[in-house]
Amino acid sequence: DVKVTQSSRYLVKRTGEKVFLECVQDMDHENMFWYRQDPGLGLRLIYFSYDVKMKEKGDIPEGYSVSREKKERFSLILESASTNQTSMYLCASSQGLAADTQYFGPGTRLTVL
């Protein structure tokens, strides 16, 4: 079974802090994704990566950056956390970009105070 793990289920940070959210997949997938999920807005794509060191902006990249130094690991970085970044963050991976199923991690609920 594909497994996607995220470093924390719950995280509380203060405004202005630098925040790292880590995601690891164990299926040698080429593509990894970061979403945020907010009530009434569904899942919105922040960034995705189709190869090591490659990244593409999604629909809402402002205020975020990403890092993919190894194939299995995709990090989401909030350089200076703000209260409007309080959300559920979901990581996903897939082998292909279009046809293949995305496998999701359990999510990290981030609260920025």
Partner 1 sequence: AQKVTQAQTEISVVEKEDVTLDCVYETRDTTYYLFWYKQPPSGELVFLIRRNSFDEQNEISGRYSWNFQKSTSSFNFTITASQVVDSAVYFCALRSYQKVTFGTGTKLQVIP
Among 22, 95, 104, 111, binds partner 1 (CB under 8 A): 104
Q: Is the Cβ of residue 77 or residue 103 nearer to partner 1 in the bound state? A: 103
In the bound state with partner 1, the residue whose beta carbon lies nearer, of 97 and 113, is: 97
Question: Which range touches partner 1 (CB under 8 A), out of 21-29, 40-48, 67-75, 78-86?
Answer: 40-48
The dihedral over CA atoms of 51, 53, 56, 61, expressed in degrees to the nearest 10, equals 130
Residue 109 neighbours by CB distance under 10 Å? 15
DSSP string across 67-94? EEEETTEEEEEESS--GGG-EEEEEEEE
Q: Binding to partner 1 by residue 87, rule CB under 8 A? A: no
35 is an interface residue for partner 1 by CB under 8 A: yes
